[in-house]
Amino acid sequence: MRRIRDTFNETPNSVLTVGGAFLVLTLLILLPRIFPTERVGVECSRMANPIPGGNNGSHLTAQSEGLLSLQLTLAQSNISTIDALAPTVIFQNGGVGSVTIFLVPQEALLRDDGSQGLHFEIRRSPDGAVFAEPATIRPPVPVRQVFPVEGLHVLGARQSCRQDFSFDPARLSNLGLPPGNYVIQAIYRNPFSGQWNVAPQATATPIFPTQGVYVVNELRSNEIAFSIGLVQPLTGEAQPLGG
């Protein structure tokens, strides 16, 4: 024991600092892999917002590009015409660096019109006819290149978060859904990494050149089958249309 203590005392501080930093980095990478389910229950919209100026950014983020995925579940796969449709979207970061997602749940549309953010598409099974709420009722979401910090949420390495939605019968009626079988899918898009809105009199320069928002042309979840107004419920995931 004394020999170990003497060895520790004789070790240069710089070596101890580097060793400690390496240990912390190793734990940050490995712990989410060992305990991945510990974080699944966190609501995405309650995740931490990025620090203005990008101080919470990381060069490891680049290694997470292409590793963000979506998973979709439904609270009920058979609903009546007076029930709400309640999907849950799970964002999963499979990379070794954190990613920043843009998510404003209140803006989610029940149509796929190419809008920025998270939206849903509903198709009839098996013919694939699309049912979408009209833009006159739910206008397209604004295109953002500068993101409000409250709409940004940091998802850590190997971390998952969920977002629950509930679309009431009044909103579903806007789609004109007759009783039948359908599939629902979540779609996430964001073409911009975000520009800093720096005041002219600001003297500090952000560490990173952009807001670091995860860029993806199109990210689709699995499809989930459900029915409206039918006695026999559908279970499990839908097969790809045409397959």
Q: Kindly state whether residues 124 and 12 are assigned to the same domain.
A: no
As a whole number of angstroms, the distance between CA 154 and CA 122 comes to 29
Give 53 or 142, the one with higher predicted confidence. 142
58: pLDDT confidence band, cut at 50, 70 and 90? low
Q: What is the pLDDT of residue 93?
A: 92
Q: Is the pLDDT of residue 4 over 70?
A: no
Average pLDDT, the chain: 79
* Residue 52 belongs to a domain: yes
Same domain, yes or no: 25 and 122: no
Tell whether 240 is covered by a domain: no
Q: Residue 125's domain is classified under what CATH number? A: 2.60.40.2970
Indicate if the pLDDT at residue 165 is higher than 60: yes
Task: Supply the pTM of this predicted model.
Answer: 0.72
Residues 98 and 24 in one domain: no
pLDDT of residue 207: 55
The predicted model gives 213-230 an average pLDDT of: 94
d(CA 106, CA 150): 13
- Supply the pLDDT for residue 14: 57
Q: Please state the domain count of the chain.
A: 2
Q: Is residue 233 part of a domain?
A: no
Q: What is the mean pLDDT of residues 165-183?
A: 95
Q: Please give the residue that has the higher pLDDT: either 19 or 190.
A: 190
Residues 71 and 7 in one domain: no
Instruction: Identify the pLDDT of residue 121.
Output: 98
Same domain, 13 and 57: no
213 and 108 assigned to the same domain: yes
Q: Are 210 and 109 members of one domain?
A: yes
Residues 91 and 24 in one domain: no
- Which of 50-54, 63-67, 88-92, 237-241 has the highest average model confidence (pLDDT)? 88-92
Residues 20 and 128 grouped into a single domain = no
84 in a structural domain: yes
16 shares its domain with 43: no
Instruction: Specify whether 28 is located in the same domain as 107.
Output: no
At 122, the pLDDT band (50, 70, 90 cuts) reads very high
Same domain for 23 and 46, yes or no, is: no
pLDDT at site 34: 46
**ω into 126 cis (within 30 of 0):** yes
**In-domain check, residue 204:** yes
Query: 67-92, pLDDT tens digit by residue?
Result: 899 999 999 999 999 999 999 999 99
Range of the domain at 29: 1-34
pLDDT at 8 over 70: no
Quick one: pLDDT at residue 152?
94
Q: Residue 103 domain-assigned? A: yes
Tell whether 11 is covered by a domain: yes
Q: Is residue 125 part of a domain?
A: yes
